[in-house]
Amino acid sequence: MSGASEIVALGSAAAPTRVRETAPPLIANALYLLPAFAVLAVFFLLPALATLGISFTDWTLGARKFTFVGLGNYLDLMASAEFRLSLVNTLKLNLFVIPASFLVALALALAIHNTVKLAPLWQTIYFLPVTTTLVAMAFVWQWVLHPEFGVVAWVLTGLGYQPVNWLNDSSLVLYTVGFISLWQLVGYYMVLFLAGLSSIPSSLYEAAAVDGARNPLDRFLHVTWPMLGPTALFVFVITVIKSFQIFDVVRVLTKGGPNKASEIVLHTLYQEGFVFLRTGRAAAIATLFFVVMLALTLYQMRVLDRRVHYGMR
């Protein structure tokens, strides 16, 4: 009995030591995370703080001196009719792009998911615009939409209609930019929806059929959409962020014209910072843009998350 008691005592004494040996110390964890934190600080935190600081100055790009102006840049922006116009244009553009991108991507994903044999082919076709350089494709679109020599003008003329100057019509240019952006981004959202659809168990559709949900609309409303909730929330958040980041098409095709009809916030930021060299004012626009995007993202995650079905948690 004494030998057994000694073995038990020895095991109980060695157990804490083994736990201490296997448990990584706090300093080691910090060292493992240090490279990631360093990259985050250098490429995100420091530039963000620098932008915030510059927004309170009148610094111009390349100048050696600057003056602290406090909220002057922000007040000037709020009083600027041009900046307010860019805000309105940005809102109009996103009210078109966000719901259209979301709904088109969802419809394409549902159609492709139900086409088993040709699904890979259709996925490749619709995802190709995502892999292209939008700046290069913008020149292609410029030719396609040309009012005299473009493909669209040729088709309209063949149908008996007058060609339309899509990029120089103040009432159409914003929606033309939105359509090109939708064409480029919808394939990415479609792939995300396809991933969500493929994770829905087929047994749920079988159970729904037994309960009477036999037509496609009933299956979508009672099975597909509730189970697609987490994916739909993620796609919606990404759609909002990417839609507000539209810039390339405007810069290459319209440069904010005609008559500021396609002037949006990010193009105004570019103009202020790299054309007029008013870096302090551009930093103020960037700060406001970041704050608005952060608020929108947090609001979506907080409010819409309550309506999402995550299954078993």
**pLDDT band for position 222 (50/70/90)?**
confident
Question: Is pTM, for the whole model, over 0.85?
Answer: no
The CA distance from 8 to 11, in Å, is: 5
% of the chain at pLDDT higher than 90: 48
Most confident option among 1-15, 119-133, 190-204: 190-204
Whether residue 60 contacts residue 278, with contact meaning beta carbons closer than 8 Å, is answered with yes
Architecture of the domain made up of 72-307: Orthogonal Bundle (1.10)
Length of the chain: 313
> How many other C-beta atoms can be found within 10 angstroms of the C-beta atom of residue 187?
20
**Phi, psi angles (nearest 5°) of residue 243:** -65, -40
Whether residue 196 contacts residue 236, with contact meaning beta carbons closer than 8 Å, is answered with no
The CA distance from 182 to 129, in Å, is: 10
52, pLDDT greater than 90: yes
143, pLDDT greater than 60: yes
32, pLDDT greater than 50: yes
The CA distance from 101 to 232, in Å, is: 12
What does the domain layout of the chain look like in residue ranges? 2-54, 72-307
Whether residue 265 contacts residue 37, with contact meaning beta carbons closer than 8 Å, is answered with no
Sign of torsion over alpha carbons 171, 106, 221, 115:
positive
Sign of torsion over alpha carbons 185, 186, 191, 192:
positive
7, pLDDT greater than 60: no
**Phi, psi angles (nearest 5°) of residue 62:** 95, -10
Q: Express each pLDDT in 267-309 by its tens digit.
A: 999 999 999 999 999 999 999 999 999 998 888 878 777 767 5
6, pLDDT greater than 60: no
Residues β-bridged to residue 57 = 68
Question: H or E segment at 181?
Answer: helix 173-198
16, pLDDT greater than 90: no
